Amino acid sequence: MHDSVLERVTLRRSLGAKYLTTPAPTKEDYDEALTWAIAAPDHCRLSPARFVVIEERQKFADFFEAGALAEGADQEGAERARSKALKAPAMVAVVAKIDEHNARVPAYEQWMTVGAATSNFLAALELKGYAGKIVSGSSTRYRDAVDALCKKDEVIACWIMLGTAKPNAPGAEVRPVYDELLTYFS
């Protein structure tokens, strides 16, 4: 089991919404993924990341459309933004609360925890047979989405688009190992 888990994680790839279909993760799948997410390194146990499963997708499509229009998009651009909230079978927001004034845990460490928790969350779902992609960009700053999801001092770090890989999805590619990415100081 150990070797197969390692192999599956190292062969993972991001799949956008056009390569995703149903089924989407269940509540039980999300609960299990959360146990992986909270196992991420977290200095002083600040828990700077939380995950929100977006069930009201039409409402978020409205938020995305309004956000794009507020940023100056034309109607075609607003429709494109709207469709991004609906394309994948499932959508999860990663919400971050970074304490910029924490003397023990600098902001960059807290962001590392958010990233590690997000990666663990996605890896757990992929090991259960799902596929997905982490996306960010201007939609993480759309006012209506932020107001709906974020508490004081929180931001939307990214979205995770999820589903099951379609048969025509690109296969995993083996990533080359670059010697300069792992060095030894002696």
| CATH number for the domain that contains residue 16 | 3.40.109.10
- pLDDT average, residue stretch 128-135: 97
- Kindly report the number of other CB atoms within 10 A of residue 122's CB atom: 24
Domains contained in the chain, number: 1
Taking a C-beta distance cutoff of 8 angstroms, is the pair 14, 132 a contact? yes
pLDDT surpassing 80 at residue 80: yes
pLDDT surpassing 80 at residue 156: yes
Asked if residue 103 belongs to a domain, the reply is: yes
Taking a C-beta distance cutoff of 8 angstroms, is the pair 145, 57 a contact? no
Q: The whole model's pTM is what?
A: 0.93
Q: How is residue 88 written in tokens?
A: 């994948």
pLDDT higher at 68 or 8: 68
Q: What is the pLDDT of residue 2?
A: 62
Q: Give the relative orientation of helices 57-70 and 75-84 as an angle to the nearest 10 degrees.
A: 150
Helix H or strand E encompassing 185: none
Alpha-carbon distances, residue 14 vs 39, 62, 131 (angstroms): 22, 26, 7
Asked if residue 45 belongs to a domain, the reply is: yes
Structural domain that includes position 102: 2-57+87-168
Asked if residue 70 belongs to a domain, the reply is: no
Alpha-carbon distances, residue 15 vs 20, 22, 150, 169 (angstroms): 7, 14, 27, 7
Asked if residue 78 belongs to a domain, the reply is: no
Asked if residue 112 belongs to a domain, the reply is: yes
Taking a C-beta distance cutoff of 8 angstroms, is the pair 82, 65 a contact? yes
Asked if residue 184 belongs to a domain, the reply is: no
Say how many Å lie between the first and final Cα of the chain, rounded: 34
Q: Mean pLDDT, the chain, as a whole number?
A: 95
pLDDT surpassing 90 at residue 114: yes
User: 58 has which bridge partners?
Assistant: none
Helix H or strand E encompassing 94: strand 90-97
DSSP string, 105-165: S-HHHHHHHHHHHHHHHHHHHHHTT-EEEEE-SGGGG-HHHHHHH--TTEEEEEEEEEEEE
Please state, for a pLDDT cut of 90, what percent of the chain lies above it: 85
31: pLDDT confidence band, cut at 50, 70 and 90?
A: very high
Asked if residue 32 belongs to a domain, the reply is: yes
Asked if residue 183 belongs to a domain, the reply is: no
